[in-house]
Structure 1
Amino acid sequence: MKRFAVGLTAAVIGGTMLLTGGTASAARTALDVEIADISPNPVVVPKGGEATVKIDVIASDDAKKVELSVRPLDSQARTLAAKQSKLDQQGQHWVFSVPFTDGDPTGRWRATVIATDKDGKTDTDKATFAVEAQQGKADTRIARFDASPEPVRKGRTLWFSGRLQANEDGDWEGVKGAEVAIYFRRDGSSGWKWVADTETRWGGKFTAKTRAYKSGEFKAVYEGDDDTNGSTSAPDYVRVRGGWHH
Structure 2
Amino acid sequence: MVKRIRVAVVAALGIATLVAGPVTTASAGTNNVDPAVSSVSVNPNPIVVKGSETVKVVFTAETKDNASKVTGVIKPELGVETGFELAKDADLGSGKARWKYSKDFNRQSAPIKWTFRAVVGSSTVSTEFSVKQVYETDFDDIAAAPSVVDEGEWVTLSGVFRQNGASGWAVVPNARVHLAFRPLGGSYSRLPGSVETNGQGKFWLKARASKSGHWRAEYDGSSTRLGARSETDRVDVRAKARSSRIVGFGAGPGWVTEGDRLSVRGLLQLDAQHGWEGYRGQKVAILFRADGSSRWDQVDSGWTNRDGRFDVDVTARRSGHWRAEFRGADGVKGSSSDTDHVTVRKPEPAPEPERAASRVISFNASPEPVRYRKYLRFTGKLQVDDGGWEGYRAKVALYFKATSSKKWRYVKITTANGSGRLYTKTMAYGSGYWKFVFKGDDDFHGDSSRSDYVRVKR
Once residues 68 and 228 of structure 2 are traced to their aligned partners in structure 1, the CA distance between those partners, rounded to angstroms, is 54
Cα distance between partner residues in 2 of 1:181 and 1:43 = 30
Aligned match of 1:126: 124
Q: Which residue of 69, 72, 79 corresponds with 1:70?
A: 72
Change in CA separation of 1:195 and 1:132 when aligned onto 2, cut-off 3 Å: closer
Q: Contact between 1:43 and 1:51, CA under 8 Å: does it hold in 2?
A: no
Unaligned runs of 5+ in 1: 1-25, 115-123
User: In the alignment, is residue 205 of structure 1 matched against residue 205 of structure 2?
Assistant: no
TM-score, length of structure 2 as denominator length: 0.35
CA contact (8 A) 2:38 2:125 kept: no
Report what 1:38 is aligned to: 40
Is 1:54–2:61 an aligned residue pair?
Answer: yes
Structure 2 CA distance for partners of 1:66 and 1:239, relative to 1, 3 Å: closer
**Counterpart code for 2:190:** W
Name the counterpart of 2:181: 184
**What letter is aligned with 1:161?**
S
Partner AA of 2:119 in structure 1: T
Indicate how the Cα distance of structure 1 residues 184 and 75 shifts in structure 2: closer, same or farther if over 3 A, else same. closer
Structure showing greater relative contact order (alpha-carbon pairs closer than 8 Å, 6 or more residues apart): 1
Q: Does 1:172 align with 2:169?
A: yes
Displacement of 1:94 in angstroms is 3.2
Change in 2 beyond 3 A, CA 1:134/1:52: farther
TM-score normalised by structure 1 residue count: 0.57
Structure 1 counterpart of 2:58, which letter?
A
Q: Secondary structure at the match of 2:160?
A: strand
* Residue 111 (structure 1) aligns with: 118
Q: CA deviation at 1:53?
A: 0.6
Which deviations, in whole Å up to 9, do the C-alpha atoms of 1:23-59 show, x marking residues without a partner? Answer: xxx88837466544222475859937462412344x5
- 1:102 aligned counterpart, secondary structure: strand
1:85 to 65, 88, 110: 88
Distance 1:206 1:35 in 2: 55
Pick one of 187, 190, 195 that aligns with 1:194: 190
1:51-97 CA distance string (max 9 Å, x none): 2412344x5xxxx86653223456674x75x6642463544x63441
CA contact (8 A) 1:40 1:54 kept: no
User: Highest CA radius of gyration, 1 or 2?
Assistant: 2
C-alpha distance in structure 1 between counterparts of 2:47 and 2:158, whole Å: 39
Runs of 5+ unmatched residues, structure 2 = 1-27, 242-458
Q: Please say if 1:147 is aligned against 2:150.
A: no
Cα contact 1:40–1:53 (8 A) shared by 2: yes
Q: Secondary structure at the match of 1:213?
A: coil
Q: Identity of paired residues, percent? A: 22
Q: Pick closer, same or farther for the CA change 1:129–1:234 going to 2, 3 Å.
A: same
Residues 219 and 235 in structure 1, CA contact (< 8 A), matched pair in contact too: yes
How far did residue 219 of structure 1 move? 1.9
Alpha-carbon distance in 1 for matches of 2:46, 2:34: 27
Whole-angstrom CA distance in 2 between matches of 1:45 and 1:97: 23
Residues 45, 230 of structure 1: alpha-carbon distance in 2 compared, 3 angstrom cutoff: closer
Q: Distance in 2 between matches of 1:215 and 1:45?
A: 41
Q: CA RMSD in A?
A: 4.3
Q: Which has the higher helix share?
A: 2
Q: Say whether 1:157 aligns with 2:154.
A: yes
Corresponding letter in the other structure for 1:55: E
